[in-house]
Chain A
Amino acid sequence: MGTSILKQRDYLIATVQSDLSDEEWQQFQDDLVRRIGLTRARAVVIDVTEIDVLDSYAARILGTTVEMVRLRGAEAIIVGIQPDVAFAMVQLGLTLDRVTMALDLEDGLEYLDSIGPRRRHSIHAD
């Protein structure tokens, strides 16, 4: 499939490597939420750098994925949204307000390091 989920230190790096169909997005969400439970990672970085199109379905799934991860006591952030994709998204009103974003994996990890492990067992109230 076009996704990969790898453990790196306390984090899961979930990379979407190509444009996914609706079913594949759903599969991705299921996999990720399951892995959080199994690995006890304290945060997930969802990397969409390779994605050319994020439509309303994909945005909704990303939003619910983040919420589901948080309900399991971990944080989730999204990185790598491309400039063109971001512009198309805001024109559609897909702002993902309750999700924290970073430019790329490097910035994302930096951010997660800065918020520290105390977030682990708290429900993120943004």
Chain B
Amino acid sequence: MQTSERRTALRSPKDIVVAREYARELGSLLGMSSIGATELATAISEVARNALTYGGGGEVVLSQFAEAKRRGIRVTVEDKGPGIADIDLAMKDGYSTGESLGLGLPGARRLVDKFEIVSKVGMGTRVTMTKWAS
């Protein structure tokens, strides 16, 4: 059985493309639908870009994840940047009022099934997303 984890360092925009490719690869291994894989890849793009632009780079880890009878992909995007001072503000969803997406985080959350963000000023930020395969 192939290893079901993929990691990539986030040092340049090209690495975001690599991370998205990994998502597709894992997605098709798990039989994820095309739309699901696209949504996950798009969410990874948004979050990884944040980590690169505001977090000074970091790492993306993708792995297979199972819970009860469901299988899916879990992605963590981590950076050791300045951290987010007001997480609630960063996660505020301006979608319904048509505001433009500043950090892309609320958008990413809409595209995945589970979304967690941990951030500490001066320490960094870690976003964990899960998308089910079915």
Contacts and interface: CB of A to CB of B under 8 A. Distances in A.
Interface of A: 19-24, 52-57, 83-85, 87-89, 91-93
Contact of A92 (B12, B35, B42, B49): B42
Contacts of A89: 42
Contacts of B35: 83-84, 87-88
16 contacts: A19-B21, A21-B13, A21-B14, A21-B16, A23-B12, A52-B20, A53-B38, A53-B41, A56-B46, A87-B35, A88-B35, A88-B111, A91-B39, A91-B107, A91-B110, A92-B101
B45 interface: yes
Contacts of B6: none
Question: Range of interface residues on chain B?
Answer: 20 to 34
Contact of A93 (B13, B39, B41, B107): B107
Main SS of the interface on chain B?
Answer: helix
6 tightest Cβ-Cβ pairs between the two chains A and B: A21-B13, A22-B13, A55-B45, A84-B38, A92-B107, A21-B14
Nearest to B101: A56
A56 B104 contact: yes
A85 B42 CA distance: 9
Given A55-B45, A92-B110, 14 more contacts: A21-B12, A24-B13, A57-B45, A57-B49, A84-B34, A84-B38, A85-B38, A88-B35, A88-B42, A89-B42, A91-B107, A92-B104, A92-B107, A92-B111
Contacts of A87: 35, 38-39
A22 to B, nearest CB: 4
B20 A19 contact: yes
A85 B20 CA distance: 13
Interface in B33-55: 34-35, 37-39, 41-42, 45-46, 49
